[in-house]
Structure 1
Amino acid sequence: MYQNPILYADYSDPDVIRVGEDYYMVASSFTYLPGVPLLHSRDLVHWEMINYCVRSLPFEKYDRPSHGSGTWAPSIRYHEGIFYVFIPLPDEGIYVASSKDPYGEFTLCCLHEAKGWIDPCPFWDEDGKAYMVFAYANSRCGIKHRLDLVEIDPECTKVLSEPIAIFDGEQLGPTTEGPKLYQYQGYYYILMPSGGVATGWQSVLRAKSIYGPYEYRIIMHQGNTDVNGPHQGGWVIAPDGRHWFLHFQDVHELGRILHLQPMCFNNGWPFIGVEQNGDGIGEPVKEWRLPAKGEPRYQIKKSDDFTGDSLGLQWQWQANPKDFYYSLAGHSGLRLFCLANDKRENLLWYAPNAFTQIPQHPACSMTTKVRLLGKEAGDMASIGVIGHAYAYLGIQLTKKGHVLCLYTGAVTEKNLEGKAIEELSKTCSYDMDTVYLRLELYHNKTYRFAWSSDGIRYTFMGKEFPLRRATWTGAKLCLWSANKENGSSEGYGEYEFIHIEDRGNGKAGL
């Protein structure tokens, strides 16, 4: 048996395909780059990170954090030996990343420039024509309940027709988005969520023609379960012919976690989950039989000793990656340079060089040993949490020597470059340049910081902070080196390791 959620981690807006006996999943990542993580599994339950579909975005805007923008809900398909990942940038248009090798480099091209087109999904029909179904972003164009269809060239390089509306859910399915188009046993099916992320439901459209008319039905909802708004995902057929549906649940502070549901067909209609209350609509399962037998082989990496010649796949920057943010070669760890912010104040919410990771458990500890090789006053190396209210603990060089500094921040404008205010919450004198820093994340959705000079005896610093989500994502763990006086410096923090340990029920302890 397996239990839901299969991944308690913010892999938002998932889509999944099967190629042979291998499953591949993609997810959105917004302003965090490299973007659109690509994961692999052999049983739909145990996953490993294998790649990113987008190394950086070709706009100067993304050289700085662009919260709530960037790579939205993608879709993945395999056609004639090529993996295609359709990626919406809500402010710029629809992009396509393609590769013959899921472990190799993806090429990114613009399919169509448009503002407000989101959640695209390609489809190659039996007659050789190709299509794309997509939704609209209310925040960009004032539409949130319509699905349109366009014809595209089979090589996915351009749009060939004007959009044709195939579903208008203003009354029936408000906030309809995330469409995924399939063909099965003589019908075209579009699986889609409606009603919004927090409390919505999963729907399906069915038609004999790709342009419709489409019939509508709700096929999964929360019902009597505690899985709110079972939301968008992907349908996949296993080698044994069984049907599965992978989707997310929004748990707010930690983002959108992944569930796997059994799926079947009843009188030509999909049915997802299990009937529990007699209303004829599926509800999410807590556990079910494994899709495939065998020992699990995969897991998402979290800890890092920084001994390789490249960064681990668990890491993302808060903007386009730049080589001058860091160094690995020939060091006893990862060097993150104490950079200034040449555009505005040097706050964590504004920092493109914030080095982030998705929490993989609702309670965990993150510990690092860091040496600050400061060159100028204000040089700092820290660990923290990024969200709409955030905090970070660091070792900082002042004119009088080293201190431990706890900063807190509050976001006042959440989108794009946004605005935040920060304050120095607490300081502590410290007479060395090396310190162990620890972050404890608790099941009650709070977190706290501690420090140690020897890695054995830790002292808490500051209070417990409430965990808060970021814009369209859950909270992120992070490392960050910067010059807090926003001056030029050649200083850096050298992080020897990161140890991340999942905790059971209750509070993590020192």
Structure 2
Amino acid sequence: MARQLTEELKHESVWNPNIGSGRFRNPVLFKDYSDPDIVRKGKDFFMAASSFSSFPGIPILHSTDLVNWTLISHVFDKLPFKDYELPAHGKGAWAPSIRYYRGEFWVYFATPDEGIFMSKTKDPFRGWEPLVHVKETKGWIDPCPFWDDDGRAYLIHAYANSRIGIKSKLNLCRMKKDGTALEDDGEIVFDGTLNHPTIEGPKLYKKDGYYYIFAPAGGVKNGWQTVLRSRQIYGPYEDKIVLHQGNTVINGPHQGGWVELDSGESWFIHFQDRGAFGRIVHLQPVSWEDGWPLMGKDINKDGIGEPVLEWQKPKTNSEDLKEPFDQASDDFSSENLALQWQWEANPKQEWYSLDARPGRLRLYSRRSVHRFKLSRIPNLLMQKFSGPSFTATIKLSLCALSETIRAGLAVMGKEYASLCFSKGENGLYKLGVYTGRIEDDLEDIKTEEHPVSKETVYLRVTVSEEAECRFSYSIDQHHFTQVGDPFQAVPGLWTGAKVGMYCVNAGTDGPDGSYCDIDWFIAEPERRGHK
């Protein structure tokens, strides 16, 4: 369950989608929840999103109004493959779907190199069953299950051209009724090569006698939403573009899911690629005309919807919330690591403790296989960027047995930077700014260094609306000094940039029993200027 921060650490949320008078603004989630899908059970809505190579994987969020969302669980802790014992950037769990069928919630997802997986639960708040390997294959992605009125089960999916040399096609397979395996290799039901290139992320629905496939096409940054419909599940399918950027500032708009309310309203949730800030989540009203959905609002009257920036909240009979629950800041007062934190590889309990010094997070140093290169280190503890501009601050104390122990605050992406705290000579400490790149094998480069007299410091990164990052530090929590030049955050492989902490032994030998303690992590609206 989500928990409340202690009073002294409470603060304004970085992003608030509630604008009063029963209205909301987009995005409803200014965080990197890529490839969202959604399902409703009664008054509750549940969302699943991609996690790629971050662990635990496949985040599940809950809402009662479609606007304010709370992260409640993850589908799995680890993936059972050796490749994920170290960072596997760009791999991992892609594009899940979530459905409710016969009293259970079902999540399907693919890893592009290992195949299609499934897990289910009766209660998403309480955890998920062990993964079932539905199909061992390479290059099958974006799976979505469908149980028809006659009880027959199907699974539709797309292809990853990078793995299998096929793209722009959607394939439909028969599936066992219990959802654990496929019964055939499927049949191509739509080829979008000419008119809907790179069509992917299919979601299969049935409404008023039609089978509908909702699927984005045209690419993540500049694509559109396509809807296909047919009276027969294997087609042939008619196609129609129902949502595009038009004259708005919302590029994409990309992959998502559709839901109907008891009130008769329809809504579509999708992502927008915002570079370093990730694939943020928007909510669009949906109207139906002549058996076709129109998403957003047809502003220029061309018959295609455009994304809305503001709208009246869905009629869910939920309380009109004024402020979302903060799931970025953490005082580490819980028995378990908060859900917003993810590791860069299959996690190990030996990496951290919440019991060694209650009320603080202890990160243990681990020897780096690649000396000091953060992108190759599995025990980085990261979370998503919190909004369009924010400040992240940690209080860190270092217990280092040698000068090779380094702990600090990092911003990760294809290019990354960290503010690194380590032991110096004569009982002193030092702070350095290091930069690196995921795609090379070079050790991270130190660009600046400052001496520090104390073993406890406050480290801060301020992220602007342009994703420019400025590191600073303090020894008293009040006066911060900027360190190094501004750093431009960039996306990771299929993800936004991330911020978090680490403790690592950058030496080839020497003691490995060092650690750092983190008293708290606070993400709040951007603090401008440094004293």
TM-score range, shorter chain: over 0.9
Partner of 2:75: 53
**Where in structure 1 are there 5+ consecutive unaligned residues?**
none
| Counterpart check, 1:479 vs 2:501 | yes
Give the 3-state SS of the residue equivalent to 1:139 in structure 2: helix
Structure 2 matches for 1:264-343, cutoff 5 A? 264-291=287-314, 292=316, 293-296=318-321, 298-331=324-357, 332-341=359-368, 343=369
- Point out the more displaced range, 38-47 or 344-353: 344-353
Contact 1:315–1:356 under 8 Å retained in 2? yes
1:379 to 394, 405, 411: 405
Counterpart position of 1:84:
106
Contact 1:29 1:35 in 2 (8 A): yes
Q: What pairs up with 1:21-420 in 2 under 5 angstroms?
A: 21-107=43-129, 108-291=131-314, 292=316, 293-296=318-321, 298-331=324-357, 332-341=359-368, 343-411=369-437, 413=439, 419=441
CA contact (8 A) 2:372 2:443 kept: no
The 1:397/1:42 distance shift into structure 2, 3 A limit, reads same
Q: Aligned in 2, Cα 1:508/1:179: closer, same or farther, shift over 3 Å? A: farther
How far 1:238 sits from its partner (Å)? Answer: 1.4
Give the CA RMSD over aligned residues.
Answer: 1.5
CA shift, 1:463, in A, is: 1.1
Cα separation, partners in 2 of 1:294 and 1:508, compared to 1, 3 Å: farther
- Aligned positions, number: 503
2-structure distance, mates of 1:353, 1:410: 17
Query: Quick one: which amino acid aligns to residue 435 of structure 2?
Result: G
TM score, norm. by length of structure 1:
0.96
Question: Does structure 1 retain, via aligned residues, the 8 Å contact 2:93–2:110?
Answer: yes
- Counterpart position of 2:7: none
Summarize deviations over 1:146-205 as a string: whole Å, max 9, x none: 000001112111111121000011111111100000000000000000000010000011
Per-residue deviation at 1:32? Answer: 0.5
Q: Distance in 2 between matches of 1:209 and 1:346?
A: 57
In 1, Cα distance between equivalents of 2:108 and 2:351 = 29
Contact 1:409 1:421 in 2 (8 A): no
Q: Percent identity?
A: 43
Q: Which moved more, 1:297-306 or 1:63-72?
A: 297-306
**Contact 1:251–1:257 at 8 Å: present in 2 too?**
yes
Asked whether the 8 Å contact 2:400–2:515 carries over to 1, the reply is yes
**2-structure distance, mates of 1:357, 1:50:** 15
Partners of 2:487 and 2:162 lie apart in 1 by 30
| One-letter amino acid matched to 2:338 | G
SS in 1 for 2:350: helix
The one-letter code of the counterpart of 1:51 is S
Which of 442, 454, 458 is 2:480 aligned to?
458
Q: SS where residue 140 of structure 1 aligns?
A: helix
How far, CA to CA, are the matches of 2:438 and 2:35 in structure 1?
26
**Where do 1:428-443 residues align within 5 Å?**
428-443=450-465
Q: Does 1:490 align with 2:513?
A: yes
Change (3 A) 1:164 1:222: same
Conserved 8 A contact 2:415-2:435: yes
3-state SS of 1:230 partner: coil
C-alpha separation in 2, matches of 1:300 and 1:65: 28
SS at structure 2 position matched to 1:62: helix
Query: For 1:86-106, what per-residue CA distance to the aligned partner results, in whole angstroms no more than 9, with x for missing partners?
Result: 011000000001111101221
Cα offset for 1:485? 2.0
Distance 1:13 1:508, change over 3 A: farther
Shift of 1:239: 2.0
Shift of 1:401: 3.6
2-structure distance, mates of 1:304, 1:482: 22
Structure 1 match to 2:15: none
Structure 2 length as normaliser, TM-score? 0.92
Cα gap change, 1:420 to 1:174, in 2 (>3 Å):
farther
How far residue 298 of structure 1 moved from its aligned partner, in angstroms, is 4.6
Runs of 4+ in 1 over 6 A off after TM superposition: none
1:449 aligned onto 2:466: no
Q: Which amino acid aligns with 2:505?
A: N
| 1:363 and 1:508 in contact (8 A); partners too | no
How far apart are residue 408 of structure 1 and its match?
2.9
Counterpart amino acid of residue 390 in structure 1: Y
Amino acid at match of 1:305: D
- Code of the residue aligned with 1:69 in structure 2: it is K
1:9 is aligned to: 31
Residue in 2 that maps onto 1:425:
447
CA distance in 2, matches of 1:91, 1:16: 25
Q: Distance in 1 between matches of 2:445 and 2:258?
A: 47
Q: Which runs of 5+ in 2 are unaligned?
A: 1-22
Aligned 8 A contact 2:279 2:495 in 1: yes
* 1:275-294 Cα shifts (integer Å, max 9, x gaps): 11121110001111100352
Deviations 1:431-451 (A, max 9, x none): 221111111111122011111
Equivalent-residue separation in structure 1 for 2:438 and 2:397 (angstroms): 33
Task: Quote how far apart the aligned CAs of 1:2 are.
Answer: 0.7
Q: CA deviation at 1:330?
A: 4.1
